[in-house]
Every structure is written in structure tokens, then in C-alpha cells.
Structure 1
Amino acid sequence: MAIGEVTVIPIGTSSTSLSSYVADMQRVLETVAGITYELTSMGTIIEGPLARILAAVEALHESPFTAGAQRVSTSLKIDDRRDKPSTSRSKLESVERKLQAE
């Protein structure tokens, strides 16, 4: 399973507030099968098979255009670990264990 972090920024909107676009994009994610996701203050974490993450990112990238944006900038980071199962939570727990050991 891969982990993706995506940030989608609509450009050329009538307001500096983007929360309505973010809400629309979260609704889009609800329709993408085979993934889990978590909204953060700076982007969205998506977990699942790589092909499903990429499908989700494509849907997210298109969403602001549907809502009227004239330009969209999307950034994506992928962590695709194949030697053992990994989740966003397990990565955090690993760091927390190391901090507690000190």
C-alpha cells in the first residue's frame, strides 16, 4: 500500500478563501473506491494501492475546474514501501516509540 500527500490549489478564484473548494474535493474523495484519506490543514493524506491514489489525485485536480477555477496547481508526494505494510499512522508510531525510548 502506498501513501500519498496531495495539495491542490485553485488559482484565479474570486476569493482568497479556498475552503469551499477543499470541501468539494473531500466530497470527491468519498466517491473514490479503494482508498482511505485524512484531511490536514495543509493537504490530504491518501492511502491505498498506487493506481487508486493516482485516480484520486486526478479527480481532486479536476474538482476545482468543475467549481469554476481557471487554473489549478497540484503537488503530490508518494511513499510507496513494498518491503512491509506501511500506513501513515504506523510511520508516526515508529517515531513516537523512538522519542519515548530517549
Structure 2
Amino acid sequence: MTVIGLLSVAPVIEDSMSGEIAAAVDALEAYDVEYETNPMGTVIETDDIGELFAAAQAAHEAVDADRVSTVLKIDDKRDRDSSAAEKVDAVEEHLGRPATNTED
């Protein structure tokens, strides 16, 4: 079983959030998860939903702010393994091209 989550953790502050977001991403290193950060959040993959929740909680708690906003979206495909990369590959197969716009 592969569990894929989209995690977004952000302090509610006026200034740059990048330092606190880096702390949240760094907290994921202590868990048995694969992850990739993008401009809107971090995609996390693991074989165990409990590990996903633990990693998300650690990322949330790593942010040092008076108020923290965290969103976790979970895709728990229980009948077979499917990685995040395979999901993108399937979309690209239908598109017949990469699922990115590389034009300036």
C-alpha cells in the first residue's frame, strides 16, 4: 500500500515564511517517508498512514510561530501501490507531453 499526502504547513506571519517552512521540511527527515517540496506544499509518500500522520505532526510542530496553518490531503489507495510519479506519468500519457509548461 502506498499512501500519498500533500502537506502544507505555514506560520501565520507578515514576513517571509521560508525559514519556518524549511524547519517543517527538515522535520520530515526523521521519518520513513519520501518527499518533494514544491511552491504550494510538500508531497509525501510512505507505506504506512501512521507514519504519514506522525511526519505531518512533526512538520507542524517544527514551525515556531504563535499561529500555524496546516493542511494535509491524503490519497490512500488501498488496492495497489501507486507512487506520485506514476500518477503524473498517467496524466502525461493522456496529454502526450510533459505536464509542465516550459515556455517563458
Q: TM-score, normalised by structure 1?
A: 0.86
Residue number among 34, 37, 40 corresponding to 2:35 in the alignment: 37
Q: 2:42 matched to 1:47? A: no
Q: 2:6 matched to 1:8? A: no
Q: More displaced, 86-95 or 15-24?
A: 15-24
The letter for the 2-side match of 1:79 is: D
Cα distance in 2 for residues equivalent to 1:10 and 1:44: 15
Cα distance in 1 for residues equivalent to 2:77 and 2:61: 27
The letter for the 2-side match of 1:93 is: D
1:95 aligns to what? 91
Could you tell me how far 1:61 is from its partner in structure 2?
0.9
Cα distance in 2 for residues equivalent to 1:58 and 1:44: 13
Matched residues, number: 95
The letter for the 2-side match of 1:91 is: K
Q: Which runs of 5+ in 1 are unaligned?
A: none
Cα distance in 2 for residues equivalent to 1:99 and 1:20: 36
Q: Alpha carbon RMSD of aligned pairs, Å?
A: 1.4
Match runs of 1:19-98 below 5 Å? 19-32=18-31, 34-48=32-46, 49-64=48-63, 67=64, 69-98=65-94
Q: Which runs of 5+ in 2 are unaligned?
A: 98-104
The letter for the 1-side match of 2:22 is: A
- Identity percentage over the alignment? 40
Q: Which structure dedicates a bigger proportion of its chain to helix?
A: 1
Could you tell me how far 1:6 is from its partner in structure 2?
0.7
